Amino acid sequence: MKIFTFFGSSSSGKTTVIQNLISVLSGQYKIVYIKDIPHGNISLDTHGKDTWIMEDAGADVTYGITPDRTYKMFREHMELDRIIDDNRYCDIIFIEGFRDYGKGTRFLVLGSEDYLKYGYNYMIMANNSTYTGKCIVYPEEVNRILKIITTGIEN
C-alpha cells in the first residue's frame, strides 16, 4: 500500500488532480480516497431515508447496501491512521487535505503560495499561474505524477 497526500489552499486543483488520477488508475489498482472535511454537521445520506433515520435515531454504525455498493457510516470521529490501517490491503490511498499529515508521499497542489511553508515531496501547479519555481505542471505533466504513484506497486 502506498499513501499519497494532496494538500493546498481552497480551489488549488486538488480534487481535479485526484479525480483524474483515480479515473486513470482505477481499473488497475484498488484505491481508497480519504477527504478532510474541516467543518461538521454534514450528511452523506438523504434526509428521511431509512439509513438516515437509523443514524439519526442513534445507530453507531449504519450500512447501506445496494446491488453494486456498500456504504458504511460511523457515529464517531476516526483518526486518519486507523482508517489507513483498516484499508491496509488496498494498493493506493489518496488523501485530500490533512496538510499536517506527515506519512506517505506529500504533494502540495499550489494555489496560495502561503502553503510553501508546509513540508512536501512534490509540488503540482494546477491553478496558480504566477509561481515560477520548480514544480509539476498539471495537466501537461500528469504522466510524471502517475509514474511517481505507480512506481513499485505490483498489480
Domain ranges of the chain: 2-42+79-150
Query: Could you name the CATH architecture of 2-42+79-150?
Result: 3-Layer(aba) Sandwich (3.40)
Burial of 1-15, coded b for 16+ CB within 10 Å and e otherwise, reads ebbbbbbbbeebbbe
- Cα–Cα dist 134/78, whole Å: 36
pLDDT greater than 90 at residue 42:
no
- Cα–Cα dist 61/70, whole Å: 13
pLDDT in tens, 44-76: 778 888 888 988 888 988 888 889 988 888 888
- Cα–Cα dist 138/131, whole Å: 13
* Window from 36-45, 53-62, 120-129, 138-147 with minimum mean pLDDT: 36-45
pLDDT greater than 80 at residue 43:
no
pTM for the full model? 0.90
